[in-house]
Amino acid sequence: MRLPGEIRGPPGGQGGEVVETAGATERLVRRLAVRYSVLARTAIVVVCGLFGIFVAPTPWLTAVVVGGLLFWSVPYVRLMVHGPGRWVLPGDAGLVAAVCLTQLWTVPPAALESDEGWVIALASMTLVVYQWHTSLIMGATAVAIVDGAFFAGVVLATPASVSGAVTMLVWIPVEAALSRLLWLLVRRGAAAADREIERAEEARRTAAVAAAARAAEREYSATLHDTAASTLLMVGLGEIRGNERWLRAQAERDLRIFDGRTVAPAEADLTEQLREVIADSGLEVTAELPDSLPVPTTAGTALCQAVREALSNVARHARTETAEVTARAGPGGVVITVADHGIGFAPELVPATRWGVTESIINRVAAIGGRVDVRTAPGAGTTVRLEWRHG
C-alpha cells in the first residue's frame, strides 16, 4: 500500500519523491496515523460543521458548505485509507482554503472577533493532521495556502479583527510545526523499535546457528566415540588379537559412516538393524525381538547407535561376555532394553569427561524425543532402557 504523501516517481527520483524504506513497526505507525488523521478531520466536519449551521449569519449557505464537505469526506476517507493519488491532498487543501474564504457568511462576527468558530477548528485540525502523513514540503505548502485563506477570510468578514487574525496567522503554523515535531518523534521511536526487533531476530538466528553447530559437533563426537574411537581403544587395550572375524566388518562399517555413503530410506526395520548391531557387538547376546518393527529412519538410527554404545560399554567395562537385548512395540512407539550381569558401576563417580552414557546414549535418544533410564550399581549389573514414541 502506498502511504499518503509518499509519491513514487521514475528511477533516480525524477518526477517524484524517493520513498524511504521503513520497518514493520514504522509502517504500522504510518497506517495508523493516516487512519486517525482522516477520522479526526471527518469528526470535526460533522460536529463543528453541523453546529455552525445553527449560528451562522447565512444558515442556508453554511448548510451548503458543510454538506459539500460531508459529501467530499466519503471519497476522501476511502482514498486516504487505500492510497490517494497525487491530486487528493492538494484538492483537499484547496477545498479547506475555499471554506476559509466563506467566513463572511458561515461564521458569526462575534466568533471571528474572539478567534473562534467552526472554520478555524476545521483549518487547525486539517493542518495538524496533514503533518502526520505528508512530506515536509507538502505539509508546509498546505499550511501556507490554508493559513493565508483563513486570514483573508477573516479580514473580508470583519476588517476590524485584523489583529486577531494576525495572531491566528502566526499560531496556526506553530500548531502545524509542533504536530510535525511530534510525528517525527513518534516515527523515531517506531524506527528504534524496528532496530531492536531486528537485533533480537539477529541474536535469535545467531543462537540457532550456534545451537545447530553445537548439536552437529556433539553428534560428530558421539559418532566418532561409537565407531573408530571404540575400535581403536579395544585394539589398544589388547582386547583384540587381530584375527577376529567381526573386526574387518566393523572397520568397514566405521568407514562407511564417516564417508557418508550410506543412503537411508524414509522408514527402516528396527528389528533388522538391531540384529546387525548385535552381530557386530562381539558378545553372546540373548535377543528377544519382534519379527518386524518399522520406525522412521532417523529414530531407528539413533536408537541403534545408542544400543551399539550400550553393548560396547558391556564389552569394555562390565567384565562379562554376555548381554540381553529386548525390543517391543510400546504405546505409540518402541521400548528397547539392554541388560548385563556384569560388575555395574556407580553413576555418581563417572567423570564428566566420559562421553559414553551421556552423549552417545542419553542425549542421542533425547534428540529424537525419546528418553533413557539407566539402572546400575556396583556388583548389580546394568540395565539401559530406551523409550521412543511417534510424534
Q: Which domain holds residue 132?
A: 11-200
User: Is residue 252 in some structural domain?
Assistant: no
Whether 181 and 298 map to the same domain: the answer is no
Across 272-276, 280-284, 319-323, least confident range: 280-284
Whether 175 and 269 map to the same domain: the answer is no
Distance CA 73, CA 92 (A): 9
What pLDDT score was predicted for residue 134? 87
pLDDT exceeding 90 applies to what percent of the chain?
Answer: 26
Domain boundary among 152, 169, 200: 200
Asked whether residue 208 carries a pLDDT value surpassing 60, the answer given is yes
Domain boundary among 173, 200, 227: 200
User: Is residue 242 in some structural domain?
Assistant: no
Query: Are the beta carbons of 100 and 153 closer than 8 angstroms?
Result: yes
User: Is residue 256 in some structural domain?
Assistant: no
Domain boundary among 200, 227, 243: 200
Task: Identify any residues that bridge with 323 across adjacent strands, giving them in sequence order.
Answer: 285
Euclidean distance between the first and the last CA atom of the chain, given in angstroms as a whole number:
42
User: Is residue 219 in some structural domain?
Assistant: no
If you average pLDDT over every residue of the chain, what do you get?
80
What pLDDT score was predicted for residue 9? 40
**Using one digit for the tens of pLDDT, what is the confidence trace for 240-262?**
555 555 555 556 666 665 565 44
What pLDDT score was predicted for residue 142? 92
Distance CA 333, CA 389 (A): 4
Q: What single string gives the DSSP state of each residue in 93-109? A: HHHHHHHHTTHHHHS-H
Whether 44 and 126 map to the same domain: the answer is yes
Across 24-28, 82-86, 133-137, 273-277, least confident range: 82-86
User: Is residue 93 in some structural domain?
Assistant: yes
Q: What is the mean pLDDT of the segment spanning 218-232?
A: 59
Q: What is the pTM of this model?
A: 0.54
How many structural domains is the chain composed of?
A: 2
Q: Which of the four pLDDT bands, split at 50, 70 and 90, describes residue 1?
A: very low
Distance CA 99, CA 56 (A): 13
Contacts 24+ apart (CB under 8 A), 35-41: 35/81, 36/129, 36/132, 37/80, 37/129, 37/130, 37/132, 37/133, 38/76, 38/77, 38/80, 38/81, 38/129, 39/77, 40/125, 40/129, 41/73, 41/122, 41/125, 41/126, 41/129
Across 131-145, 262-276, 292-306, least confident range: 262-276
Whether 279 and 189 map to the same domain: the answer is no
Asked whether residue 141 carries a pLDDT value surpassing 90, the answer given is yes
Distance CA 231, CA 369 (A): 29
Contacts 24+ apart (CB under 8 A), 249-254: 249/280, 250/280, 253/227, 253/280, 254/227, 254/228
Asked whether residue 229 carries a pLDDT value surpassing 70, the answer given is no
Nearest CA to 366 out of 308, 321, 302, 271 is that of 302
User: Is residue 228 in some structural domain?
Assistant: no
Which carries the bigger pLDDT value, residue 14 or residue 124? 124
Which carries the bigger pLDDT value, residue 326 or residue 330? 326
Q: What single string gives the DSSP state of each residue in 311-354? A: HHHHHHHSS-SEEEEEEEEETTEEEEEEEE-S----GGGS-TT-
Whether 127 and 270 map to the same domain: the answer is no
